[in-house]
Amino acid sequence: MKLKSMRPTAKINAALIPVFTSLTFMLFAACGPSDVELAAVDYAPLPGEDWQVSTPEERDLDPELVAELYLDAAELETLYSLLVIKDGYLIAEDYFNGGSIGKATLLQSASKSYISALVGIAVDRGCLSSIDQKLIAFFPDVADQIVDSRKKQITLRQMLQMRAGYPDEETDPAYLEALYWGVYPKLIVEFPLVDRPGTAFNYSNLTYNWLAILLARSCGTDLRSFAQDNLFQPSDTKIGDWLQDRDGHYIGSGGIHVTARDAARFGLLFLNNGEYEGDQIIPADWVHDSLLPYTEKARSYGLGFSFGTLGYGYGWWTASVKEHDFSFAWGHGGQLIVLLDDLDMIIVTTADPFFGQHDGQSWTHEKAIMNLVGEFIQSLPNE
């Protein structure tokens, strides 16, 4: 009799299990981690002479917010590194899933922010006379093959802003295949324009590959050498691999490998108006112009719950979380260099770059990293 009387109750309890599970999760999420859990998190910067180190407390930042950030970071399966810099000091650092202080990671499209910086340096050095020069001036080898006269009006400025009129390669498998095939000058002719130059934002990787090629041509050297002499060596940055196309050109859309610490140093260069240890590496006006949103609604889909609508400058994205406006370099897989000027803060992540993989799995992991950073920014007070 007892068994029979228990059966209906058992059925009801089974039906309620998803409800109880959901409520338990919501209750846990609302309560957050315990003081004991937060106290056990070790995010102290590792020993090294390349960064001045400090602590959140010394930089007037709540250490529990930082501890919760790193506690959540440890749950992500593809994250390699997470660094926080405040007031020029490295205050938090940790590595995950095979990441390490010496691991140089493919930055994917965050490399575009470096290419933008190199364009500004080239103008300052006189290699380029202006970013209003025409694209086609640097590619006489294909100029006479152009049929669409609009292409002859494309400027470097429009290319930097992703407003040259060329398509987003991910909108067509044939475009994406051509991008990965790696023979780029002829694609100036072969790829169609989807908008009149200067009128609309389209995320074209090819435009940054062409910028990389024309930089080398105009400066009379290979791009890696130019970058080493004018950006990396003056800012004490060691570059790892740099992918090349089939013709030997260094790829501008996403080929640079650096460590998380060196990525942070690049961010600090922009946060300090292009200066490094008293030397002006990147012109200050170029830094300012690069971080302006020339397209204020470049993308508006949910890449992170708090990143929301994104703008675009010269190779840098812009976004807003709560009252914090910020710029960030962004590469596939979760490569981020986030500049919070109002807090004098930089947040860097490196992760599995998912090279050649643009599917649900890669985007799921990438969004998780962006959510991690977005939630942390949302938790930060205003200064």
DSSP assignment of 143-172, as one string? Answer: HTT---GGGGG-BHHHHHTT-SSPPPGGG-
15: CB partners within 8 A, 6+ apart: none
pLDDT tens track for 260-274: 999 999 999 999 999
Instruction: Check residue 183 and give its pLDDT.
Output: 85
Please state, in angstroms and rounded to a whole number, the distance separating the CA atoms of residues 276 and 232: 11
Instruction: Check residue 382 and give its pLDDT.
Output: 81
Instruction: Check residue 299 and give its pLDDT.
Output: 77
Side-by-side strand order, sheet with 335-340: 89-95, 79-86, 345-351, 335-340, 324-331, 317-321, 310-312, 295-299
Instruction: Check residue 140 and give its pLDDT.
Output: 96
Instruction: Report the percent of the chain where pLDDT is more than 70.
Output: 90
Rounded to an integer, the average pLDDT of 137-157 is 97
pLDDT tens track for 150-208: 999 999 999 999 999 999 999 999 999 999 887 899 999 999 999 999 999 999 999 99
CATH number belonging to the domain at 36-106+225-383, selected among 3.40.605.10, 1.10.10.10, 3.40.710.10, 3.40.50.300: 3.40.710.10
Which pLDDT band holds residue 38 (cuts at 50, 70, 90)?
confident
Instruction: Pull the structure tokens for residue 380.
Output: 């930060």
Between 163 and 37, whose confidence is greater? 163
pLDDT tens track for 288-304: 999 999 999 887 555 55
Q: Which of 82, 77, 85, 76 is closest to 100 using CA atoms?
A: 82
Rounded to an integer, the average pLDDT of 215-229 is 97
**Treating both helix axes as pointing N-terminal to C-terminal, what angle do 205-219 and 111-125 enclose, rounded to 10 degrees?**
30
Domain borders along the chain are: 36-106+225-383, 128-219
Say yes or no to pLDDT of 134 above 60.
Answer: yes
pLDDT tens track for 201-218: 999 999 999 999 999 999
Rounded to an integer, the average pLDDT of 53-78 is 97
Pairing of strands 335-340, 345-351: antiparallel
Rounded to an integer, the average pLDDT of 270-282 is 97
To the nearest whole number, what is the mean pLDDT of the chain?
A: 90
Yes or no: say if 335 and 349 are a contact pair by the CB < 8 Å rule: yes
* Number of C-beta neighbours around residue 144 at 10 A: 7
Instruction: Check residue 321 and give its pLDDT.
Output: 86
Q: Which helix (H) or strand (E) holds 185?
A: none
Say yes or no to pLDDT of 2 above 90.
Answer: no
Please state, in angstroms and rounded to a whole number, the distance separating the CA atoms of residues 315 and 208: 9
Say yes or no to pLDDT of 93 above 50.
Answer: yes
Instruction: Count Cβ atoms within 10 A of the Cβ of residue 369 and give its class: 0-12 exposed, 13-18 middle, 19 or more buried.
Output: buried
CB crowding 94-128: b at 16 or more within 10 Å, else e: bbbeebebebbbbbbbbbbbbbbbbbbbbbbeebb
Instruction: Report the percent of the chain where pLDDT is more than 90.
Output: 80
Yes or no: say if 239 and 227 are a contact pair by the CB < 8 Å rule: yes
Rounded to an integer, the average pLDDT of 24-46 is 73
pTM, whole model, 2 decimals?
Answer: 0.90
Q: Which of 48-52, 217-221, 288-292 has the lowest mean pLDDT?
A: 48-52
Instruction: Check residue 17 and give its pLDDT.
Output: 40
Instruction: Check residue 8 and give its pLDDT.
Output: 34
Say yes or no to pLDDT of 13 above 90.
Answer: no
Cross-strand bridge partners of residue 326: 319
Query: Which ranges in the chain belong to alpha helices (H)?
Result: 2-31, 35-39, 63-73, 111-125, 140-143, 156-160, 173-181, 187-190, 205-219, 223-227, 260-271, 284-290, 360-379
Rounded to an integer, the average pLDDT of 134-157 is 97
DSSP three-state, residue 353 = coil
Between 308 and 131, whose confidence is greater? 131
